[in-house]
Structure 1
Amino acid sequence: MFLIKKRLVFYFLIFSPFVMVVAQETLEQTENIPVDHKKLVVQGEIICLPIYPKKNSNYFPEENDLSENLEAYNTKWDNQQFNPYWNEELTFPFQLAFQDEDFSPPVDRKMVITSRYGWRRGRPHQGIDIDLQVGDSVKSILEGKIRYVGYHGGHGNTVVVRHYNGLETVYAHLSKSLVKENDEVKKGQIIGTGGVTGNARGSHLHLEVRYHGKSINPEYLFEFASDTKVRSDTLFVTKKWMTPRYHRSTRMSKIVIHKTMEDIARIKEEQKKIYTVRKGDTLHRIANKYGLAVSEICKTNSLKYNSVLKIGQQIIIN
């Protein structure tokens, strides 16, 4: 590290197989000067990490945040499999952090979502469909590195970009891919052209956001409007936002961001409802009405899967 006329020149953090370069802009106040250093062990190598005051958000201030993000970025780097995490289970809720306040629109034209994340025609739709014409440019919404390029089942020609926080974005139904595996890409860089390959009804971009192989409702993380904002620099992801059956592809779900664990507990308490059983009701019918799994209703109400409901019985709906 060198200070030259109140400028902090580049730190180079080197670890195999990636190189992270962190540049700090002009330091006009003492609060932007490192107050300490911590040693981290990343893939067997010792890294000295500068620790900034908490007001500085240009870099990760906490040791655990950095190590977790580096691990998420590096783990299971596989150019052959579309989903190298297929045998992993996630623990909910988990936290995501973003360095960007906004993202690049994946298409040049106005973003028109023709189908949303959720249940569609009896099947899970694990992304959003954005209108485009064949041959239109498709861009990476955030900076990252190309992990997968290939033809993948119903996705057709597909590009998968992994981002620094472990998220992956999937760009499907492309007519042509313009990048190759292990290429580094900038936010807004063209990675392919729109098409109708795979299981596509008309030309559109199928965009998915995944974490450790599991899809997340993209609209929980990003505002697909003219200002293209990332909804929060840090947030928690619950099972609801990674389960298509809780949503409908024909309408936008109500977005409530969980920024703290307290938010999750409060919102969960507020969303509790009491349903009074009516004639003809079954656990399956009630579960479908509220977009829940039968097992969840059974667990909350200490019921068995084959329980017979009584008219007037009260059921807690979470």
Structure 2
Amino acid sequence: MFLNKGKLTFLLILVGIATSSLFAQYSDNTEAKVLLDYKELVLDGKKTYLPIYKVNRQYIITQNSEEEGVINKEIITSVYDENWNTKIFNTFLKKKFDKRPFLLHFKDSVFSSPVDHKMVVTSRYGWRRGRAHQGIDIDLQTGDNVKALLSGKVRYARRHSGHGKTVVIRHENGLETVYAHLSKYMVQENDLVEKGQVIGKGGVSGNARGSHLHLEVRYHGKSIHPEYLFDFSENTKVRSEQIAVTKKWMTPRSHRSTRKSKIVVQQTIEKIIEEPTTRSVYVVRKGDTLHGIARKHDIEVSEICKINEIRYNSVLNIGQEIVIY
């Protein structure tokens, strides 16, 4: 009935091990609930935060339920799942996009220059030779590095009509950046890329007049004036952490590729709604014709007639005001 000294000692050792194990488990469970920090994410234009906890002395990002106000893994990756297609350039082509003012959020305050040398914009977003130029052209030489503006995932890396060899990268806030006229790909579709990573080599593929990088910024398939979002100077700054985008900055006809648009960044929907509509007015001079005015302002005669509600053969009077856009 009674335990001898040896058996009693052995039993006490077992009890001690079990107790220490329970305390260790309790300690681990307690430690797993220690909140260390938050990771900021900008997903499909919306900002959210994921809590970072310490678990078993390792840092992990937990995936809490939506009821707790934190997005789960499925929602995190949704920006890369929506209309994701590696064979179609514009996967939103058949989807209507409401051009009412909307907000874009950026977690980066600066972007990476797409070229290694000083950025020189040779042609801007806007109306050009009677057609919409939906991006900007940046000077480079064939073989120069082309780099990603921001981190993201490669959705498209193949030839596209007019653009030649093209890479499209989708970013966490839903934006897509387009890099065209390349001579060589340095990434593949579905690759994750970091800001500043080389994604291709410059060239003249596609419909290019001399070597240059054609850069576009798109949201749900619609182009946005790149210079409204990014400062293409030595500062390489994102214009603002929060940017309100309106139809004006998604309409090439509202801008001219031959001159720099006046950039006034709006940060709230309320302010951008109050933004006045800009118009360019030309006063007719002696000897002017519709064709001459159209050539001077890089616009089609039919467009001038439509805006001003005049006929193709209308007689112009000296001092008459013609709205260009």
TM-score, structure 2 length as denominator? 0.68
Mapped pair 1:87 → 2:94: yes
1:117-139 per-residue CA deviation (whole Å, 9 max, x = no partner) reads 11111111111111111111111
* 1:230 Cα offset (Å): 0.5
3-state SS of paired residue (1:181) = coil
Q: CA RMSD in A?
A: 4.2
* 1:265 Cα offset (Å): 2.8
Distance 1:161 1:130 in 2: 18
Bigger Rg over Cα: 2
8 Å Cα contact 1:70-1:165 kept in structure 2: no
8 Å Cα contact 1:2-1:8 kept in structure 2: no
Mapped pair 1:224 → 2:232: yes
1:52-71 per-residue CA deviation (whole Å, 9 max, x = no partner) reads xxxxxxxxxxxxxx96x865
Distance 1:221 1:9 in 2: 26
1:138-193 per-residue CA deviation (whole Å, 9 max, x = no partner) reads 11100000000101111000100000011000000111001111000000011111
Distance 1:153 1:212 in 2: 20
Cα 1:201/1:294, change in 2 over 3 Å: closer
1:37-79 per-residue CA deviation (whole Å, 9 max, x = no partner) reads 9843xxxxxx85449xxxxxxxxxxxxxx96x86544310001
Distance 2:49 2:280 in 1: 50
Unaligned runs of 5+ in 2: 1-30, 42-47, 54-62
What are the residue-to-residue correspondences of 1:29-108 with 2, within 5 Å? Answer: 39-40=65-66, 48-50=68-70, 71-90=78-97, 91-108=99-116
8 Å Cα contact 2:304-2:324 kept in structure 1: no
* 1:226 Cα offset (Å): 0.6
3-state SS of paired residue (1:105) = coil
Distance 1:79 1:225 in 2: 32
The corresponding residue for 1:8 is: 37
Mapped pair 1:154 → 2:183: no
3-state SS of paired residue (1:264) = helix
* 1:235 Cα offset (Å): 1.4
Mapped pair 1:116 → 2:124: yes
Query: Which runs of structure 1 show a deviation greater than 2 angstroms over 4 or more consecutive aligned residues?
Result: 1-4, 6-12, 20-25, 37-40, 47-51, 69-74, 271-278, 293-298, 311-318
Distance 2:145 2:323 in 1: 48
Percent identity of paired positions between Structure 1 and Structure 2: 53
What amino acid does structure 1 have at the position aligned with 2:115?
Answer: V
3-state SS of paired residue (1:267) = coil
Aligned length: 269
3-state SS of paired residue (1:215) = strand
What amino acid does structure 1 have at the position aligned with 2:87?
Answer: Q
* 1:7 Cα offset (Å): 3.2
3-state SS of paired residue (1:207) = strand
Unaligned runs of 5+ in 1: 13-19, 26-36, 41-46, 52-65, 299-303
3-state SS of paired residue (2:276) = helix
8 Å Cα contact 2:36-2:51 kept in structure 1: no
TM-score, structure 1 length as denominator? 0.69
